[in-house]
Structure 1
Amino acid sequence: MIDRRTLLGAMATAPLTAHATAKAAGQATATPAAMTPWPPAEHFPLWPGRPPGARAKLPTPNPSMNGPAGRQELWLRGTANPIVAVFRPERPDGRAVLTIPGGGYGFVSIQNEGIDVAKMLNPHGITVFALSYRLPSEGWDRQADVPLQDAQRAMRLIRANAGRYGIDPANLGIVGFSAGGHLAASLTVGYDDAVYTPVDAADRQSAKPRFSGLVYPVASLSTPSTHSGSRDNLLGPNPDAATKARYDTPRRIGASTPPLFLVHAVDDGLVPLDQSIDVLTQARAAKVPVEAHFFERGGHGFGAMSAPEGSSARLWPDLFDRWIAQTLKG
């Protein structure tokens, strides 16, 4: 079975094309009986028709179970029609979080950084929405904008239907992991970027998060410490200067940036701590409220429930919940 760290590490030195990703996935595809159920019963599509940038041939869905025996998790590839899954708490308090899984922009780690995040945050009263977004290198026009198109649209649809979900649209935030942390950071600074043509009344809603959590994020795509596989999968081989600048997220932090919450392990060997420190430095310079938790051990990809047994990194969802409550009090 393919381990996430192994695959992402390979991506850092040789970016995965859609063909190579599919070939790798062939070694890790589980039987249907062993597949984690996806999507859950309550979910909604992002686009009423073909998504922006769709070509004549759409990607073919290719979910797989990956990881060592006993700890396998669901990854998504080949998403042609992105969705948002809804996870409701027993006692909702009006707060809501859109969780954005990582995967180097080569897969979406929907279980570890989507489903499991809901399991950890729902008991705190937080309604969780898990984003299954399109992968930029799987054959879309303007590939670098594709994930941000989906993230913006998700925020607008959630707000447009806040009453249905029992949430306060003013208390909707995000949390993103690894490359999903980069997408979350892109949404944090680029919530108003015109990356797609509005399609209906929901697009009059704001896509701005009230707060943003970035967990071991690939924050910058221009610094030596970046994860090169994520960068190349998102930007493609010859990005123009304007596109590169738009997705160099720390440099775009400014006075209008929402409060930030950072989580990283010092021993992360895949996405160095420097990525979060870059965000912290820029946020402090811009006087943006920021809280950071840097754990000695945890590695990369620990999500909500996968940090080493006994590691303090397992506490981050509780810290995130407390920080959200404090942030919303203003």
Structure 2
Amino acid sequence: MKKILFILLLAAAGMTSAAPTDIPLWPEGVPGQRDIGPEKTGDGYTANVSVPTLTMIGPAVDHPSGTAIIICPGGGYVRMATAREGDQYATWLSTLGVTSFILKYRMQEFGHPAPLQDVLRAVRLLRSRAAEFGIRPDRIGVMGSSAGGHLAASAGTLFDNPLGRTGAPLDAVSARPDFLMLMYPVITMQAPSAHAGSRKALLGKTPSPENLTLMSLEKQVTAATPPTLLIHTQADASVPVENSILFYQALTKAHVPAEMYLLEHGGHGMGMRAGLGTSSLWPRRAEEWLRERGLLTPVPVQ
């Protein structure tokens, strides 16, 4: 318990033991780039993104695990809760020996499939430069919260979809994550459990039936979907807990290893907030899951 509280205090203070490094996602030019005005930041949020990046935060331990996690903050595809669902998670993961990469992705100003292209490009970039970043190419996971959870789950189900390719040489590199960690994720785009705001921001006011089905990710799970951890609460009044349940059921049907924690307390966007009873201890459950899968055991970098 003391360890969890210590991590929460570090995260709340925005403290990390390794200086962050920004990595351009599309150095050759962002696909479909257009002028949408300046990026907006403040109060822990980021919006109006036109130049996607990865912010690398290295491990704060002597023996890094070699595991990397791409973090997708939530915000309904309108903005990103960069501090609460990006920096704090990276600080916690740093203490576990994990190298984190916070993804700054395109949102409503570009719409589908720009976010999918960004997250798959992130996986491909890390896998192609794994030795440079001190990570294993077979230990790259994606973690996301809320709409960021939808983006992370998109990476785990649509990694081979043609919409995620842009014709760049990196398209030849596998974009399949090795595991997923989904925090109160948006999953379905269809009633009655859809989050209407995320659907509108990603797919527009009148999405086609084809896009509604494609981006209802419980319908896209296959045996190739990576092992997944899901965490959600009953008290979530914004994204119904049924989203996680639908995804878990699909994973189980496809025989994909999955673990799900449905907790009582904690509204939507709880992040790593203390004072929520057992819900505040989700980092402990996540650490156990990572450790059980061998992802926290240090291995040589190839």
Normalised to the residue count of structure 2, the TM-score between the two structures is 0.87
Deviates more, 1:313-322 or 1:174-183: 313-322
Counterpart in 2 of 1:23?
A: none
Sequence identity (%): 36
Contact 2:20 2:58 in 1 (8 A): no
Query: How far did residue 176 of structure 1 move?
Result: 0.7
For residues 32-67 of structure 1, the C-alpha deviation after alignment (integer angstroms, 9 at most, x for no partner) is xxxx89xx6511011124311223x234211121xx
Residue identity opposite 1:162 in structure 2: A
Provide the secondary structure at the position in 1 that maps to 2:231: strand
Counterpart in 1 of 2:254?
A: 286
Alignment of 1:209-248 (within 5 A): 209-248=177-216
Residue identity opposite 1:104 in structure 2: G
Provide the secondary structure at the position in 2 that maps to 1:169: coil
Note if 1:318 corresponds to 2:290.
no
Provide the secondary structure at the position in 2 that maps to 1:271: coil
Provide the secondary structure at the position in 1 that maps to 2:286: helix
Counterpart in 2 of 1:48?
A: 27
Counterpart in 2 of 1:60?
A: 38
Counterpart in 2 of 1:124?
A: 96
Query: How far did residue 313 of structure 1 move?
Result: 1.6
Query: How far did residue 328 of structure 1 move?
Result: 4.1
Counterpart in 1 of 2:300?
A: none
Note if 1:111 corresponds to 2:47.
no
For residues 135-177 of structure 1, the C-alpha deviation after alignment (integer angstroms, 9 at most, x for no partner) is 1x21x3xx21010010000111111111111111101111110
Provide the secondary structure at the position in 2 that maps to 1:157: helix
Residue identity opposite 2:42 in structure 1: S
Note if 1:96 corresponds to 2:74.
no
Query: How far did residue 282 of structure 1 move?
Result: 1.3
> CA distance change for structure 1 residues 323 and 145 in 2, over 3 Å: closer, same or farther?
same
Provide the secondary structure at the position in 1 that maps to 2:60: coil
Normalised to the residue count of structure 1, the TM-score between the two structures is 0.80
Contact 2:156 2:180 in 1 (8 A): yes
Note if 1:197 corresponds to 2:166.
yes
> CA distance change for structure 1 residues 274 and 168 in 2, over 3 Å: closer, same or farther?
same
Counterpart in 1 of 2:275?
A: 309
Query: How far did residue 316 of structure 1 move?
Result: 1.7
Query: How far did residue 239 of structure 1 move?
Result: 2.3
Contact 1:99 1:175 in 2 (8 A): yes
Contact 2:76 2:146 in 1 (8 A): yes
Provide the secondary structure at the position in 2 that maps to 1:299: coil
Selected match of 1:152 from 108, 120, 136:
120
For residues 210-246 of structure 1, the C-alpha deviation after alignment (integer angstroms, 9 at most, x for no partner) is 1111110011011312110000100012322322221
Contact 1:97 1:174 in 2 (8 A): yes
Could you list the runs of 5+ residues in structure 1 that have no partner in the other structure?
Answer: 1-35, 66-73
Provide the secondary structure at the position in 1 that maps to 2:78: coil
Provide the secondary structure at the position in 1 that maps to 2:80: coil
Query: How far did residue 310 of structure 1 move?
Result: 5.0
Query: How far did residue 80 of structure 1 move?
Result: 1.2
For residues 293-321 of structure 1, the C-alpha deviation after alignment (integer angstroms, 9 at most, x for no partner) is 11110111011x22x41521222222222
Provide the secondary structure at the position in 2 that maps to 1:291: strand
Inter-partner Cα distance in structure 2 for 1:281 and 1:95: 27
Provide the secondary structure at the position in 1 that maps to 2:79: coil
Inter-partner Cα distance in structure 2 for 1:236 and 1:272: 21
Selected match of 1:178 from 143, 146, 170:
146
Counterpart in 1 of 2:3?
A: none
Residue identity opposite 1:191 in structure 2: F
> CA distance change for structure 1 residues 154 and 108 in 2, over 3 Å: closer, same or farther?
same
Selected match of 1:300 from 264, 268, 275:
268
Provide the secondary structure at the position in 1 that maps to 2:293: helix
Residue identity opposite 1:61 in structure 2: E
Selected match of 2:242 from 257, 271, 274:
274
Contact 1:259 1:327 in 2 (8 A): no
